[in-house]
Amino acid sequence: MPAELYVGLMSGTSLDGVDAVVVDLAGQFPNCIATHFIPFDPALRNDVLAIQEVGTNELHRAATLGNRLADLYVEAVHGVLTSAGIPAEQVQAIGCHGQTIRHVPVSRYTLQLGNPARLAEQTGITVIADFRSRDIAAGGQGAPLVPAFHDAVFRSDALHRIILNIGGIANITSLAPSHPTSGFDTGPGNMLLDAWATKHLGKPWDEGGKWADTGKPIPRLLDQLRTHPYFTAPPPKSCGREEFGTIFLERHIEADWRPADVQATLIALTASSVADAIGRWCAAPNELFVCGGGAHNKSLMKALQEALPECAVDITDALGLPGDWVEAVAFAWLAQRTFHRLPGNLPEVTGARGQRVLGAIYPA
C-alpha cells in the first residue's frame, strides 16, 4: 500500500510547546515515522497567557502572536521532516490545531491563533486548520475532537476502554463494545497544577509530581473546588482556561495553607473529577489508558488508580501509540479526513446537529 503522509501539529492548553509528528495514515493504524518537540520560550508562553486576558491593543497583539506561533510551527515542521528524511513534496497536508486563546461555545465561537496561511506559504505544504469552528456552527461544542480518532484506532471489541487525555484540560473518550462512542472534557488536567508550580517553584511544572507528593490534600479546599457547576453539568460539554484558570483557584486559597498541600489537593481534584465523570456518565470500564503530559505525573497516575480501583490504568504506549504524541497524530488524522472530504466530528460527543467535514484548507 503506498504511503499517505501527513504532519500533525499540536500546541495545547498546557503551553509547554509544539508537538510535531510525521505519520503514515495509509493503513488502519497510524504509522508514526518521526516526532519533534519545540518548547515555548518563557516570553512566548507569557504572551499566550496574557492574550487570554482582557488588555490593550488586543487585535494587534493577537495578530503578531499568531505570526510568531506560525513561525514556530514552521520550525517544528522542518524539524520533524528532517528527522524523518522526508521532503515536503511527499506530505499531503499539515493538520494544525493552532493555539486556543478563547473557547466559548456558549457564545458560539472558538478562537485559535497560528496564521495557517503563513504556515502554508513557508512550508510549501497544504495546511488544514480551524477544526473546531464548523462543529460549533452546527450547534456543537467544537471539542473534544479527539474521540473520533480514539474510536478509529483504540476501540476494542471485547473490553470497555476509556482513553484519558491529560493536557491543560482533561478529556475522556468512552469506548464501550456495541455502544456509541462518547466523550467530553472532565475539567482541569495539568492547568492548575502547572500554574501553582510556576508560582511557587519557579518552574513550568512539578516534574513527576514529586512536589505534590510532599503535601497532603486539604479536604476543605477540595470540597470548595468541586462545587464548580461544570463538574455536574451533563455532556456534551467542553471547558478551558475560562472556567479553570488561576482566578478560579486563587479565590479559594487561604494564606496559612502550605503550597505543597495545595498542589496535592489539585492532584486530587483532577483525579477525582475524572473518576466522578466516569461514574456519572460512563458504564464501569475495564481499562483506562492515559495520554498527554499528565501521564508523566506519577503522583497523578497513582491518584487515578486509587480513584478507579476496579479499572486497570496504563498509558497509551501499551496500545502502540506513545502518549506524548497521540494528540498530534489525531490532528494529522483529522487533516486526512478533511483532505478527503470526510467528516471528522462525532455529534454524539460534541452535540452538533450532524457529522461535518471540519477545518479550513490553505493550499500549498
CA distance 18 to 56: 27
Q: Are strands 17-24 and 31-39 parallel, antiparallel or unpaired?
A: antiparallel
- Residues contacting 170, CB < 8 A, separation 6+: 164, 185, 186, 187, 188, 189, 270, 273, 274, 294
Q: Is 268 in contact with 214 (CB distance < 8 Å)?
A: no
Q: What is the mean pLDDT of residues 327-347?
A: 98
Q: Are strands 91-96 and 31-39 parallel, antiparallel or unpaired?
A: unpaired
- Choose among 32, 77, 11, 15: nearest CA to 329: 32
CA distance 9 to 2: 23
Alpha helices in 54-167 (DSSP H): 58-84, 116-123, 132-137, 146-154
- Give Rg (Cα) of the chain: 19
Whether 321 shows a pLDDT value over 90: the answer reads yes
- For the chain, the average pLDDT equals 96
CA distance 143 to 104: 11
3-state secondary structure of 89: helix
The pLDDT tens digits of the residues spanning 163-198 come to 999 999 999 999 999 999 999 999 999 999 999 999
CA dihedral (104, 167, 20, 100) in degrees, to 10, reads 20
Angle of CA points 121, 138, 107, to nearest 5°:
90
Q: Which three cell numbers stand for residue 157?
A: 471489541
The pLDDT tens digits of the residues spanning 272-315 come to 999 999 999 998 999 999 999 999 999 999 999 999 999 999 99
Q: Is 160 in contact with 287 (CB distance < 8 Å)?
A: yes
Domains and CATH numbers, the chain: 5-142+324-362 (3.30.420.40), 146-319 (3.30.420.40)
Q: Are strands 127-129 and 360-362 parallel, antiparallel or unpaired?
A: antiparallel
Q: Which three cell numbers stand for residue 287?
A: 481499562
3-state secondary structure of 177: coil
- Choose among 260, 241, 231: nearest CA to 192: 241
Phi and psi based region of residue 57 (left: phi greater than 0; alpha: psi -120 to 50; beta: remaining): left
| Cα–Cα separations (whole angstroms), residue 283 to 67, 79, 146, 180, 275 | 44, 42, 20, 12, 12
The pLDDT tens digits of the residues spanning 54-83 come to 889 999 999 999 999 999 999 999 999 999
Maximal CA-CA distance, the chain: 63
> What letter does residue 19 receive in the DSSP assignment?
E
**Full-model pTM:** 0.95
Q: Which three cell numbers stand for residue 145?
A: 475532537
The pLDDT tens digits of the residues spanning 204-261 come to 999 999 999 999 999 999 999 999 999 999 999 999 999 999 999 999 999 999 999 9
CA dihedral (192, 251, 241, 298) in degrees, to 10, reads 10
Q: Is 296 in contact with 304 (CB distance < 8 Å)?
A: no
Q: What is the mean pLDDT of residues 106-113?
A: 95
